[in-house]
Chains A and B, each alone.
Chain A
Amino acid sequence: GAVVSQHPSWVICKSGTSVKIECRSLDFQATTMFWYRQFPKQSLMLMATSNEGSKATYEQGVEKDKFLINHASLTLSTLTVTSAHPEDSSFYICSPLQQGPGHYYSNQPQHFGDGTRLSIL
């Protein structure tokens, strides 16, 4: 099955630090990447959608200057939480959408990374 690698799995840092989270699709190409975050005892909330080579689309209420997304290749997307504060502490999860032949998306189920637990002190 498809493998998604998300790194780091856990990070603790001081307030004001910027944190970069990487998401790699190891055995497939992903034109599109979804980024979610999840607060304790809550469901996953979609933050943004990125397409390779273009700007990400952010959901309402998500600050694009706070959460920088770079989708520079078909196998790698990064989310950078800039000047992180305690309220940014959360579980961040990536989900690459597998590319199929031509301009089509694969009909395979959407895959998810194992998440990054971010704790800002």
Chain B
Amino acid sequence: DAKTTQPTSMDCAEGRAANLPCNHSTISGNEYVYWYRQIHSQGPQYIIHGLKNNETNEMASLIITEDRKSSTLILPHATLRDTAVYYCIVRVHPKTSYDKVIFGPGTSLSVIP
């Protein structure tokens, strides 16, 4: 089973920030939070990941609570092309062994003109 819970769906107005929450209350100390998205009929696309510090890249920002039990993915200026299913996943960084990536249902984000 997936180790995260996310809202089933969300709407966001074009140009506004999209804030996608994720709960991961059973996260372990060595597990990272990863975010992927899947645009219709494509493979998942990596967005961002983090351990405990907030992270930002050209696509999004990731805010992780101090207790690490939840996080929020922020798309600062949503466009229509950001309409997709967003998956929040927790896993260890693979080193000498790997952790299977298990996908939950994700959040279906609809960006509205």
Pick the contact of A110: B38, B41, B101 (CB < 8 A).
Answer: B101
Is A115 a contact of B100 with CB atoms below 8 Å?
A: no
Residues of chain B within 8 A of A103, CB atoms compared: 96
Please give the distance in Å from B101's CB to the nearest CB on chain A.
Answer: 6
A-B contacts counted at CB < 8 A amount to: 59
**A114 sits at the interface (CB 8 A):** yes
Please give the distance in Å from B105's CB to the nearest CB on chain A.
Answer: 5
Please give the distance in Å from B48's CB to the nearest CB on chain A.
Answer: 9
Closest-by-CB residue of B relative to A97 is B98
In the assembled complex, the Cα of A114 lies from the Cα of B106 at a distance in Å of: 18
For window 81-113 of B, CB contacts with A under 8 Å fall at 85, 87, 93-98, 100-106
- Interface residue ranges, B against A (CB under 8 Å): 34, 36, 38, 41-46, 49, 85, 87, 93-98, 100-106
**A67 sits at the interface (CB 8 A):** no
Is A107 a contact of B102 with CB atoms below 8 Å?
A: no
Pick the contact of B41: A46, A91, A107 (CB < 8 A).
Answer: A91
Residues of chain B within 8 A of A77, CB atoms compared: none
Is A34 a contact of B100 with CB atoms below 8 Å?
A: yes
Closest-by-CB residue of A relative to B43 is A112
In the assembled complex, the Cα of A95 lies from the Cα of B101 at a distance in Å of: 10
Considering residues B38, B44, B85, B98, which has the most beta carbons from chain A within 10 angstroms of its beta carbon?
Answer: B44
Please give the distance in Å from A46's CB to the nearest CB on chain B.
Answer: 6
Q: List 30 A-B contacts (CB under 8 A).
A: A32-B98, A34-B101, A43-B87, A43-B103, A43-B104, A43-B106, A44-B44, A46-B100, A46-B101, A46-B102, A46-B103, A91-B41, A93-B44, A95-B101, A97-B98, A103-B96, A104-B96, A105-B94, A105-B96, A106-B94, A107-B94, A107-B95, A109-B49, A110-B46, A110-B101, A112-B36, A112-B43, A112-B45, A115-B42, A115-B43
Is A105 a contact of B42 with CB atoms below 8 Å?
A: no
**A78 sits at the interface (CB 8 A):** no
